[in-house]
Structure formats: structure tokens, C-alpha cells
Structure 1
């Protein structure tokens, strides 16, 4: 064999080894995915077994009074209802792939880092440029907006990065709660810093009353999706009504508020929500998070530029 034949043989051997390696990795990945699905089904079947819970609560109730037994029975029913709900949600929800969860965790983590920078800039900007008459409320409003934005992204990062379903559920609830608080903080900022007066304080009170209602409603009725969905629709309509009222009051002050940035933020949020409703389709949730980061960037520049 001459040098060309030897080189050709080596190249063929390297190509064969690469092909075998790729096939091996593909096979291992298939086995891992099947094993993960089998483990998930076993966990669901084990969790759905009521005998385990009955034995636990029966042993406790044997040494208690009748009143304690009734309490134990109620606790057992709540635990069984919670487990039944988790099983139902696990079966109905589309599990995000590893790639989707990794992408979500990274992008939302970047959003959390940007929100820290936004918080610092908000505080410095408010302290330096706020009118003396409204310095306290301006600094407080900007600080709350930055803090709630950071907590929103932090909770969302945990909800995607953690593996436990229960932990994901808790941090998902906290994500929505801080989203309500962040929206109220932004609207309160416009009410107290730009609108001011009796109308500003009225909008401020309505915003936070609605925020408290939304947080309490969403957190307490997380196990009742149909009732919670109806309540959230009502909450969204009320938030929209408050936003329209603010825009009407801001109309004489449109030279102060950069309207184009505000419109871009609203459009980005609307498009993001459209993708969020299609989260059963792969990668749509990732697009939703990217669009929300873009919307928050527009919102940041809007709020940042309203001070003279």
C-alpha cells in the first residue's frame, strides 16, 4: 500500500468511529428519555395510591380525640386532593424538554441580571432627577418597580431550573404573584410621579387593591384551575381598565411620557401573551420569555425617561 491508500484507510476508519460514536450517543439518549418517562409514570402511580396516606393518618388518629380525628380526616382529604391535582396536572401539562428548560433558565437568568442593573439605575436616576416636592414617593416608586422586576425574574428562574414538580409549582405561583405586583408598581409610578393629585392617589389605591386581590386569589385557588382562570380574566380586565384610565389622564402630559416606547412595550406584551397561550407547542414558551424581556426593556426606558 502506498501513502495515499494508507491515508484513505485512516480516513475511512475515523469516519466509521465517528459514526459509531454518534449512534452510541443517540442510543444512550433514547434509553435515558425512556427511563425518565418510566420513572415519571412510576411516581404518578405511587402517588395515586391512597393506602399510603390512609395508613399514615389512621395511625395518628388512633391516639387522638374525636375532634383530632376529624381534623386528621380533613387533612387526609386535603392531602389526597392535592396529590390528585398534582397527578392531573402532570398528565395534562406538556413537560418541557431539557433543551427548553435550559434555554428558559439561561434567558430568564439574564433577565434577572439585567433587572439588578435596572434597579440600581432606577434608584440613582430618581435620587438625582426627582423634583424636591415628590422626592420620597418618586424614589420609593422606582425602587419598588426595580425590586419587583428582579423578584419576578428570580422566581421564574427557579421555576424552570428546579427539577421537583412541587418546587416548580410553588415558584410558578410566586412568579405570577410578583408579576401582579410589578404591574401595579409601574402603574403606581405613573400615578404618583406624573399624574399626581387626587386622581393619582385614587389610581394608586386602586392599583394596589387590585394587586392584593390578584395575588390572594391566584395563590389560594391554585388547586382550582377553572375558578382561578375566571378570576384572572376578571383581574386582567380590571388592570386593562386602570391602564386605560391612566392613559386618558396622561394624555395632556404626552410630551413627558415617551409614547412610542410605551406602545412598543404594550405590543411586545400582547405578542408574548399570544405565544404563552400556545405553550403546548414546543419552544413557544421560550419565545414568550424572550418577548417579555424585550417588553420589559421598552418599559424600563419608558419609566427611565419620564423624569426631566
Structure 2
């Protein structure tokens, strides 16, 4: 027998085995159904009140049928609500053109690659230059900052690269969630590595409490844009207040923190957010992503240079 004959024989054997398995499963199912029916008949036959038992079985069957109908109706209503929401969001939001989505996917993908390099450099830098007294918290803070930056860019890449609107919505939520976590990680790094002490730990706790609140609020109210926007404005104001408090505490340590890089990162982020608010205009979202990459580069060099 040549190779083709052997392959044909193997294929025939596999097909036969699958057919036998399917027949066996079908036969077992038939036997089980017949056995269940016979058991019901025996119970009715030897019952003291056969009519009552028949009524019980009929009621059970009707209940199961009604419950399945309710479940199907509930699933149908959820599907209709989801479709209605998607139609509404598509009308309210401007859908990006193919060129915009392609440009966004490429630039954010480049940002994701740079964030991997930043993560590796953060860990190596923290391990090599961190003081022994704060080695653990320093390495952890740098690692979290790098990991959340990478996940932020990864989720954003998926949100622009995928075609399904539902998938885009899910990854857009995750993008904002990791943006909150990344901002908290950066602020926590300054609090634990530079400020330290009771004030540093207080800022650390406030940062992560605000991050958890922002993530939960945005994720749960994504289907209610008006309420979500109000909550995000409050969250942004609280983040700004924490940043101002952190800058006040960092003032005596300005020789350690490169102020120019920090200011450039903040200005780039503010200008990027301005373009983000104009995303109904074509290509403004692309400019937003480019400015955010520039802001994160400035932020990287700021954080990278605070260790002696």
C-alpha cells in the first residue's frame, strides 16, 4: 500500500469510529428516556392516588416549559436592548473611517511595542538603582506602571483593530479602565519612592481608592453616557486634586524630579485630551493618540530619571 492508500484507510477508520460513537450515544440516550418514562409509569401504577401523581407530572412538565419560555423571553429582551443600544451609540458617535482605524491601530500598536521596552527598562532600572530600604516597593511600583501601560495600549489596539461593534465597546471600556490604573500607578510611584512616609502612604491609598471607584463607575455605567460623563468629570477633578497635592509635597524634592519633563508630559496630555473632545472631526482621534504617545514618552523619562 502506498501513502495515499494508508491515508484513505485511516480516514475511513476514523469515520467509522465517529459513526459508531454517535450511534452508541444516540442509543444510550434513547434507553435513558425510555427508562425514565417506565419509572414514571411504575410510580403512577403503584401510587395510592394515580390521578394526583399524573397531575403532578403534568404540572412539573408545564412548569419546566413555562420556565424555559420565560428564560427565552428574557434573553430575547436582553438581545433587543443590546441591539437598540448599539444602534443608538452608532447614531450618536461618529464611526471612524477605514483610514483612521488603520492609522490608529498602527500607531497604538507601536505604542504597545514601546511599552514592552519601557516595562523591561523599568524593572532593570529599579532593581539596579533602588535603595535597599525601599527596594520591594520601588520594583513593584515600576513593574505595575509598565504593566498597566502595556495593557492600556494593548486594549486600545484591539478596540481599533476589531470590526465588531460589541468587541470594540468591550475593549474601549478596558482601555479606559487601564488608563485609570496606569495613572494611579504613576502617582503611587512618586508617593512611595520619592515622598515616602505617612504622606506617601496616604496618597497611595487615595490613588488606588480613586482608581477602583473610577474603574467600577465607568464599567458599570458605560450604557448610560450622560451619567457616566458626570462621574468621569468628578473622577478627573479628584485625580487633578491628588496630582496637585502630590506636586506640593514634591516641591522640596524638585532637584530629584525632572520638572521640565513632568511639565511637558502634563501639557502633552492636556492638549491630547483637547483633541479627544473633538473626535467628531476627522483625524482628531489620530492626533490624540500621537500626542498621548508623546506624553507617555515624557512620562517614561520622568519616572526613569528619578532614581539616582
Question: Which residue of structure 1 aligns with residue 119 of structure 2?
Answer: 119
Does the CA contact (< 8 Å) of 1:44 and 1:87 recur in 2?
A: no
Distance 1:85 1:40, change over 3 A: farther
Uncovered stretches (5+) of structure 2, i.e. residues with no partner: none
Does the CA contact (< 8 Å) of 1:61 and 1:69 recur in 2?
A: no
C-alpha distance in 2 between matches for 1:278 and 1:44? 73
Does the CA contact (< 8 Å) of 1:48 and 1:87 recur in 2?
A: no
C-alpha distance in 1 between matches for 2:260 and 2:281? 31
Distance 1:244 1:65, change over 3 A: farther
Does the CA contact (< 8 Å) of 2:265 and 2:298 recur in 1?
A: yes
Moved more, 209-218 or 40-49: 40-49
Does the CA contact (< 8 Å) of 1:207 and 1:242 recur in 2?
A: yes
Per the TM alignment, residue 95 of structure 1 is displaced from its structure 2 partner at its CA by 1.2
Per the TM alignment, residue 36 of structure 1 is displaced from its structure 2 partner at its CA by 54
Q: TM-score, normalization: structure 2? A: 0.78
RMSD of equivalent CA atoms: 15.6
Distance 1:72 1:231, change over 3 A: farther
C-alpha distance in 1 between matches for 2:294 and 2:39? 38
Q: Deviations over 1:276-306 (max 9, x none)?
A: 0000100000000000000000000000000
Per the TM alignment, residue 21 of structure 1 is displaced from its structure 2 partner at its CA by 58
Q: TM-score, normalization: structure 1? A: 0.78
Does the CA contact (< 8 Å) of 2:44 and 2:54 recur in 1?
A: no
Per the TM alignment, residue 38 of structure 1 is displaced from its structure 2 partner at its CA by 57
Q: Deviations over 1:254-273 (max 9, x none)?
A: 11000010000000000000
Which of the two has higher C-alpha Rg? 2
Per the TM alignment, residue 66 of structure 1 is displaced from its structure 2 partner at its CA by 6.2
SS of 1:63 mapped into structure 2 = helix
Does the CA contact (< 8 Å) of 1:272 and 1:289 recur in 2?
A: yes
Does the CA contact (< 8 Å) of 1:50 and 1:80 recur in 2?
A: no
Per the TM alignment, residue 123 of structure 1 is displaced from its structure 2 partner at its CA by 0.2
Does the CA contact (< 8 Å) of 1:210 and 1:235 recur in 2?
A: yes
Per the TM alignment, residue 61 of structure 1 is displaced from its structure 2 partner at its CA by 12
Question: Which residue of structure 1 aligns with residue 285 of structure 2?
Answer: 285
C-alpha distance in 2 between matches for 1:256 and 1:226? 42
Does the CA contact (< 8 Å) of 1:100 and 1:286 recur in 2?
A: yes
Aligned residue-pair number: 308
Q: Deviations over 1:82-104 (max 9, x none)?
A: 22111101122111111111110
C-alpha distance in 2 between matches for 1:45 and 1:276? 75
1:42 and 2:42 aligned: yes
Per the TM alignment, residue 161 of structure 1 is displaced from its structure 2 partner at its CA by 0.6
SS of 1:65 mapped into structure 2 = helix
Per the TM alignment, residue 78 of structure 1 is displaced from its structure 2 partner at its CA by 3.2
Does the CA contact (< 8 Å) of 1:218 and 1:228 recur in 2?
A: yes
C-alpha distance in 1 between matches for 2:103 and 2:126? 34
C-alpha distance in 1 between matches for 2:265 and 2:36? 40
Does the CA contact (< 8 Å) of 1:177 and 1:215 recur in 2?
A: yes
Does the CA contact (< 8 Å) of 2:47 and 2:53 recur in 1?
A: no
